[in-house]
A and B are shown apart, each in its own frame.
Chain A
Amino acid sequence: MVHVTRGFTGRHPATDDRLPPGQYLTDDFPVLSAGPTPAIRRDEWTFSVRDGDQALRSWTWDEFTALPAEDITVDIHCVTRWSRLDTTWRGVAIDDLLADVDTAAEYVLARSYGGYTTNLPLEDLLDGKAWIAYEHDGDDLPAEHGGPARLLVPHLYLWKSAKWIKSLDLVDDDDPGFWESLGYHDYGDPWREQRYQGD
């Protein structure tokens, strides 16, 4: 039930039909994370695809950035209600990273340097829907936005696009990640306003 607030008229900021419900447009790129920004050196960075405890594939920075990359232009939506349209990135499609991986797993747990995790259905990372991005706006991805590299899953709230990505773990069960175990929604579709558990 909608309850009208006495005296509130609102500013009605400009909207756009690309803006999911409850979001506002910004040109800023606000930074949100649970703790300080990890500083990960590129010569120490590795990224792997793992099945349980076992690394199926693993790349160093040089190996990873030698992979075929794509330029990506997408809208992004943060659960804290800001959205940005037409953000530009460069990175490697998850389809390419998983091309010769044969798995029955249906879920992925993304793991980050610093210990952050987030869970996603595997199919949400495939068919051109997700990338490991290492450039933003034509520049190296800054540490506060997840550099050296982050997951990019623009069709879900941005907490799913794990910063400082370290591995994608293929898993059979959909166990909640960091924010998901702290009350956030398991899936996080901005168009259905799946912010918190129970939405």
Chain B
Amino acid sequence: MTGSRAETATAHTLSLRVDEWSGHLPGQHVDVRLTAPDGYQAVRSYSLAAPADDCVIEITVQRLPGGEVSAFLTDIAMIGDELEVRGPLGNWFVWDQDDPSPVLLVAGGSGVVPLMSMIRARDEADIQTPFHLIHSVRTPQDRIYGDELTRLAAQAGGPSVTWLYTRTAPPTETRPPGRLRQNDLDDGSSRTSGATPTCFICGPTGFVEEAANHLLAAGHHADRIRTERFGGR
């Protein structure tokens, strides 16, 4: 582990230097394995947060209260520690840079991590494919990558970004706080109108299920919707 920085009060980005890394696709994840002195092991999946920088990869971990692995990674792991990492894994929930179709990204909480990897890959490669991110968060303080997304969205040709607040919204926000609703996604669909977007939805299982149903109801085709369920509810 070569770096750890706080993204929010509960999410940390860890940089990991791996011995050999031949790159990965935006949207892929790694399996992280921890081993206790008595041999007990725990493995969890974490999405790669950005394109690799040589042999350094990044993951962003959201601490769950009492979470066995997430709380260790955010609170106890330190620079210099060794972790076992396997990957890159998952060849389905990936964005193909050569596909010119517009992209609609829908994230709940830490589900923004693999989607940010797509946004960063697009930015690095200087690609103009229309991207729209809808990120559902509890409060403004829970916006993972908030500053970077605001900066990218302000650039010419940058992605457009909408935050939806479930508990507390900033005073400028007209949408009352609440869970994802059908018309939250209608807006996202209209921004990529003209061509059928490829949709990527990621977050806790229940969120993904709801968002996918909303997109279907809004007329998106099932075969253009890819989902990654992080578990939990």
Contacts and interface: CB of A to CB of B under 8 A. Distances in A.
B209 interface: yes
Interface string B194-233: 0000000000010001001101100000110111010100
16 contacts: A2-B39, A2-B41, A3-B82, A4-B35, A4-B36, A4-B37, A5-B72, A5-B81, A6-B81, A7-B72, A10-B36, A11-B42, A13-B68, A35-B226, A37-B209, A115-B223
Interface residues of A, number: 31
Interface string B72-95: 100011100111100001111100
A183 B91 CA distance: 7
Given A3-B35, A5-B34, A30-B229, A10 B68 contact: yes
Contacts of A38: 222
Interface string A30-44: 111111111000000
Contacts of A179: 92
B111 to A, nearest CB: 14
Interface string A70-88: 0000000000110000000
Category for how many chain B residues contact A: 35 or more
A8 B43 contact: no
A20 interface: no
B80 to A, nearest CB: 9
Contacts of A6: 78, 81-82
Contacts of B93: 34
Nearest to A2: B35
Q: Which 10 A-B pairs have the closest CB atoms?
A: A36-B212, A10-B36, A182-B91, A5-B34, A10-B40, A8-B34, A11-B68, A7-B76, A182-B92, A35-B225
A36 B201 CA distance: 10
B43 A81 contact: yes
Contacts of A128: none
Contact of A35 (B39, B84, B212): B212
